[in-house]
Amino acid sequence: MTANNVAHLLDGLFATCFTIDANLQVSNPTSTLKSYCPGIEPGKSLLDLFEVQRPVLVHGKMILKEHLNSLFLLVAQDHSIALRGQVVQLEGDKGYRFVGAPWLAWMSEYRPQVALKINDFPIFDSQLDQRFHVATQELMVKDLQKLTGELMQARDAADDANRMQTDLFAVMSHEMRTPLHGVISALSLVGNSDNEGEREQLVDVAQKSALGLLNVINYALDYSKIEAGRMKLDSVEFGIMELTRSVADINIGKAQEKGIELIMNVSADVPRYLNGDQDKLRQMLVNLTSNALKFTDSGRVVVSVGIDEFMNLELNAGQALIRFSVSDTGCGIPDKDLQNIFEPFWSKNGAANTDVGTGLGLKISKQLGKLMNADIMVTSQLGVGSAFSFTVALEIISRPSVKTLQFDSKALPNTLSGRVMIVDDNKTNLMLTEMILKKFGLEVKAVSSGQEAIDLASSIPFELILMDITMPGMDGIEAARQINQQMLTPPIVALTAHVQPEMIDDYLANGFKGYLRKPIEQLELIRELNLWLPAGKNTKPLSIEPSKLPVINHKTLERLNVQIGEINFVRVRRLYLDETKRRLSNLLAAWVRRDHDSLALEAHTLASSVSSFGCDDLAWRMNKIDKAIRAMDMSDVISYMKDIEKHAKESLNEVEAYVFKSSAS
């Protein structure tokens, strides 16, 4: 290959080339090079044209043959271009040829305005690749910085949560220890006291301390629910007077104890019945009122409810803006503390709360308000008092439906008869429940595991089983399932702290007939026991009017048969039986869930539908249930709900039997 051919080949591979002879004179620059560096003219000296940065020249002299393996970095003296390449020797003493490309790093730094082309760089020249790689690496660094930032944020949030949890734990421990100490001390003194009056006083102290303890636990649970975002808004119809009365009932004891006047003031223009989250409103008002009472030593605490005429909120049709406020004549809050009072565990002294509560009440109220789009506002003047207020948009209800039934336990028998099994792995709960049940005159068997319950249920008949759900080994649901597989199964009622709607549905689906929330409330227990057990000896049984109607009215069925024909009758009968069973199941589920609205609705619907199929006795009972709910008479509801399943079964069996006889004839 001739030197020219070699030069041609090199020029095909490299965009910037020129020849250098032994005297360092330059010739044959490529057109690309000339376009960037017009001053490169044949005959000019390399050193006149370029500053040679690499290789490093010794005494300013360049001996090319010594640098055949060197990297050449040349910067044009006029700074028009910088080149990066090497020198190769041409065959036959034809000199040397510089081959290379623009020096990208230098050009980017000093001549960024020169529009270099991608094709100025040979494919195997890694300058562009490096440039791209560096840019990408920079992006990666940015990504990692962002990721690190997010991780640090997450870590800080976790640290905060941990700190909060630790604070909560510390405060809760203290708050629980105080009433617990009251319970333990009072009860230990009861045993040593012979004085009846003193014993009563001690029991009273123990009871109040236990209620205080329950209160602290409820606060802690609410707080954790809010923190976990599990608190959901409910919507129920309620009476505003009942709401304020219940707030007063809860706080009146404390007010009287401190000699403070507690005034409830509901404006005449506030609608009497509203729809909203009654429980959360009550909780907010109770918290604010109890907080006001804590910091007031004399004077009054006023809870006011009125129409908010000033707040500019867009309302849906049928809504009203109700303003709730709690004001007191207490010590007041310094301005500097106003922004802190809604922080958890904050106290007047700036330290963790020690003597006036969990330090969570205001925080919980604030969060509950947020759920209802209500911001709690506070104004205060030192030595004069404070006022907390919030405004909520609530739906106005013209006619209330039934949610809360009046419960007069005196209307129910005070003793009952029958044998009851209690299943609970907690020995204390077991003993206490046993004592309560025995007071009703019941025969009680107590066992502490699911397996023992199954064994006992198969050897002795029971009228009722109260079953704990969470037990080691076999849980209550599995034990109930196995007991239900036996013949003559007694009703099983769940004893549980988990009473969320989905849990209750689960209990029902697994054969439970009801539930009792732990810790067991006396009235709830009475309700459940009366539902399943007969009255005790020498006790007036539940006084309900006996039904004088036949289980089934044959004339109604015969008339129906004639009206629609036998074939249609058989088809309609199946539909009727299926629909009635479905509605009965809804009725029983509503009863278990204490959903009295649905209970009334199902009873009302069933009264009408079963009557059209001649089930006069069942229709009469459903009417009674409906009326008892409307009259808010819990004892009557219990009386009629008792055995409703048995009566319903009897009626439906007769309908089925009637059809059979009619077809046979």
Partner 1 sequence: MYGLIHNALRSMVVQEHGEPLWQLILESMEIEADVFLSMRQYDDSTTLSLIAASAQATNMEVDAFLGSFGYYWLTVFAPKDYGPLLNLTGDDPFEFLRNLNSLHERISTSFLEFRPPVFSVKYISDECIELQYNSTRKGLTSFVEGILRGLPIMFNVTMVVELMERSAVQQGEQSLFRIMKVGAQRGRS
352: tokens are 């963790």
The answer to whether residue 115 forms part of the interface with partner 1 (CB under 8 A) is yes
Q: Which stretch binds partner 1 (CB under 8 A): 46-54, 125-133, 158-166, 653-661?
A: 125-133
Q: Which stretch binds partner 1 (CB under 8 A): 67-75, 136-144, 613-621, 624-632?
A: 136-144
Instruction: Report the residue from 139, 221, 371, 384 that binds partner 1 according to the rule CB under 8 A.
Output: 139
Q: Which stretch binds partner 1 (CB under 8 A): 126-134, 195-203, 312-320, 532-540?
A: 126-134
Instruction: Report the residue from 60, 92, 112, 259 that binds partner 1 according to the rule CB under 8 A.
Output: 112
Of residues 156 and 455, the one with the C-beta less far from partner 1:
156
Alpha helix ranges (H) inside 510-633: 522-532, 554-564, 566-592, 596-612, 616-630
Instruction: Report the residue from 1, 118, 268, 487 that binds partner 1 according to the rule CB under 8 A.
Output: 118
Q: What binding mask, one character per residue, do residues 482-521 give for partner 1 by CB under 8 A, x or -?
A: ----------------------------------------
Among residue numbers 142 through 181, which ones bind partner 1 (CB under 8 A)? Answer: 142-144, 146-147, 150
Instruction: Report the residue from 27, 108, 215, 379 that binds partner 1 according to the rule CB under 8 A.
Output: 108
Instruction: Report the residue from 5, 70, 77, 119 that binds partner 1 according to the rule CB under 8 A.
Output: 119
Buried b (16+ CB within 10 A) or exposed e, 256-278: eeeebebebebeeebbebbbbbb
Nearest approach, Cβ of residue 79 and partner 1 (Å): 19
Of residues 95 and 122, the one with the C-beta less far from partner 1:
122
225: tokens are 């629910």
Residue reference for tokens 């029902």: 508
Beta carbons within 8 Å of 125's beta carbon, 6+ residues apart = 101
Closest CA to 540 of 374, 421, 413, 401: 413
Q: What single DSSP character describes residue 448?
A: S
Among residue numbers 244 through 263, which ones bind partner 1 (CB under 8 A)? Answer: none
Cα angle 471, 474, 477; round to 5: 80
Alpha helix ranges (H) inside 412-472: 427-439, 450-459
β-strand partners of 328: 301
The answer to whether residue 229 forms part of the interface with partner 1 (CB under 8 A) is no
Q: What binding mask, one character per residue, do residues 423-442 give for partner 1 by CB under 8 A, x or -?
A: --------------------
Of residues 138 and 375, the one with the C-beta less far from partner 1:
138
Instruction: Report the residue from 129, 200, 335, 343 that binds partner 1 according to the rule CB under 8 A.
Output: 129
Beta carbons within 8 Å of 211's beta carbon, 6+ residues apart = none
Of residues 150 and 656, the one with the C-beta less far from partner 1:
150
Nearest approach, Cβ of residue 72 and partner 1 (Å): 22
- Alpha-carbon span 451 to 447, nearest angstrom: 9
Instruction: Report the residue from 13, 68, 140, 431 that binds partner 1 according to the rule CB under 8 A.
Output: 140
Of residues 105 and 320, the one with the C-beta less far from partner 1:
105
Buried b (16+ CB within 10 A) or exposed e, 560-596: bbeeeeeeebeebbeebbeebeebbebbbbbbbbbbb
- Alpha-carbon span 423 to 479, nearest angstrom: 10
The answer to whether residue 200 forms part of the interface with partner 1 (CB under 8 A) is no
- Alpha-carbon span 566 to 99, nearest angstrom: 107
Of residues 135 and 214, the one with the C-beta less far from partner 1:
135
Of residues 143 and 566, the one with the C-beta less far from partner 1:
143
SS3 at position 42? coil
Cα angle 385, 386, 388; round to 5: 160
- Alpha-carbon span 623 to 636, nearest angstrom: 12
Q: Give the interface size with partner 1 as a residue count (CB under 8 A).
A: 25
- Alpha-carbon span 65 to 96, nearest angstrom: 9
- Alpha-carbon span 441 to 419, nearest angstrom: 10
Instruction: Report the residue from 8, 54, 79, 117 that binds partner 1 according to the rule CB under 8 A.
Output: 117
The answer to whether residue 35 forms part of the interface with partner 1 (CB under 8 A) is no
Nearest approach, Cβ of residue 624 and partner 1 (Å): 52
The answer to whether residue 133 forms part of the interface with partner 1 (CB under 8 A) is yes
Instruction: Report the residue from 1, 123, 268, 317 that binds partner 1 according to the rule CB under 8 A.
Output: 123
Nearest approach, Cβ of residue 278 and partner 1 (Å): 32
Instruction: Report the residue from 116, 420, 542, 619 that binds partner 1 according to the rule CB under 8 A.
Output: 116
Of residues 127 and 561, the one with the C-beta less far from partner 1:
127
Nearest approach, Cβ of residue 132 and partner 1 (Å): 5
- Alpha-carbon span 513 to 489, nearest angstrom: 11
Of residues 144 and 356, the one with the C-beta less far from partner 1:
144
Of residues 45 and 136, the one with the C-beta less far from partner 1:
136
Nearest approach, Cβ of residue 326 and partner 1 (Å): 36
SS3 at position 442? coil
Whole-Å CA distances, 47 to 25, 34, 71, 245, 626: 9, 17, 16, 103, 111
Beta carbons within 8 Å of 85's beta carbon, 6+ residues apart = 14, 16, 72, 98, 99, 100, 101
The answer to whether residue 132 forms part of the interface with partner 1 (CB under 8 A) is yes
Q: What single DSSP character describes residue 642?
A: T
Of residues 47 and 105, the one with the C-beta less far from partner 1:
105
Q: What binding mask, one character per residue, do residues 297-316 give for partner 1 by CB under 8 A, x or -?
A: --------------------
Of residues 133 and 540, the one with the C-beta less far from partner 1:
133
Of residues 86 and 108, the one with the C-beta less far from partner 1:
108
Closest CA to 661 of 578, 570, 565, 574: 570
- Alpha-carbon span 290 to 284, nearest angstrom: 10
Binding positions for partner 1, rule: CB under 8 A: 108, 112, 115-119, 123, 126, 128-129, 131-133, 135-136, 138-140, 142-144, 146-147, 150
